[in-house]
Amino acid sequence: MTDHNRPFSDDERAGLYRAIYERRDVRSQFLPDPIPYPVLARLLKAAHHAPSVGFMQPWDFVLIDSLEVRQQVLASFHEENAKAAHNYTGERQQTYRNLKLQGIIESPLNLCITCDRSRGGDHVLGRNSIVEMDLFSTCLAVQNFWLAARAEGIGVGWVSILDQDKLADILHLPGHVYPLAYLCVGYVSEFLDQPELETKGWRSRLPLESLIHHNTWSEALDDQALLDQFEK
């Protein structure tokens, strides 16, 4: 049994769970401090070691520090956000308008993780039946990056209120490359204890037991012994 097959120590396992539970979608707490290269390299390598369909590795990483590029992205955000606000009325709209939804300029680094839909040719193993598997793989790289960042004390916020066509134009992406995730990245003054959308009353965390099914959708899990564990 080689070394990588030894069980995780308690601290190692706790580290993984800390990253998962204490990760936040950061909007407001960014500090301007630059990210040292050895740390940034660890985050990018973590992303690059995500699983991908047929080992396709469809991702690329556009590191953005240019203020000019970020201002163009911010303009697209403002345009899309103004449209989105009209979907809500009354108090809900007021809450929406008060939410801080991006840290494009405040964070020292923006990162676009893209998906090259042509990589690996016409027949990528495992991508024939579900053609979106390349996009899904790229998401897994995003999550690796996000968790590694948390373990390094670095916050990440995914900005999804953007026009993807405009974003592709701003970043000069070729037609076969999709700008999957636009991330703001930087050290933070603090990680919030709970998701901001929860503390600000936007939505609550769903009870996990309501999301569990057994063998088919219509069959609830009637095994109380497992459900009881969710409280722990």
Which residues in the 103-162 window bind a second copy by CB under 8 A?
A: 114, 120, 122-123, 125-130, 132-133, 135-136, 139-140, 142-144, 146-148, 151-153, 158, 160-162
Near a second copy by CB under 8 A: residue from 30, 45, 100, 155: 45
Q: Tell me whether residue 105 is exposed, middle or buried, using C-beta atoms within 10 angstroms of its C-beta: 0 to 12, 13 to 18, 19 or more.
A: middle
Q: Does 91 sit near a second copy (CB under 8 A)?
A: no
CA atoms within 13 A on the CB side of 90: 1
220 binds a second copy (CB under 8 A): no
Q: How far is the CB of 19 from a second copy (least distance, A)?
A: 5
CB of 230 to a second copy, least distance (A): 6
Residue 133: φ, ψ to 5°: -60, -25
Q: Does 7 bind a second copy (CB under 8 A)?
A: yes
List 31, 62, 74, 105, residue binding a second copy (CB under 8 A)? 62
Q: Could you tell me the smallest distance in angstroms from the CB atom of residue 62 to a second copy?
A: 4
Q: How many angstroms separate the CA atoms of 113 and 8, rounded?
A: 30
Q: Which is nearer to a second copy, 6 or 32 (CB)?
A: 6
Q: Is residue 227 a contact partner of residue 221, using CB atoms and an 8 Å limit?
A: yes
- Of 8 and 94, which has the nearer Cβ to a second copy? 8
Instruction: Determine, following the binding rule CB under 8 A, whether residue 74 of this chain makes contact with a second copy.
Output: no
Among 55, 94, 97, 100, binds a second copy (CB under 8 A): 55
C-alpha pair distances (Å), 3 with each of 6, 9, 12, 67, 93: 6, 13, 14, 45, 55
Interacting residues of 117 by C-beta distance below 8 A, sequence separation 6+:
58, 134, 176, 177, 178
Per-residue x/- track, 192-211, a second copy (CB under 8 A):
-x-x-xx---xx-xx-x--x
CA distance 190 to 151: 13
Distance of alpha carbon 103 from alpha carbon 97, whole angstroms: 15
Binding flag, residue 226, a second copy (CB under 8 A): yes
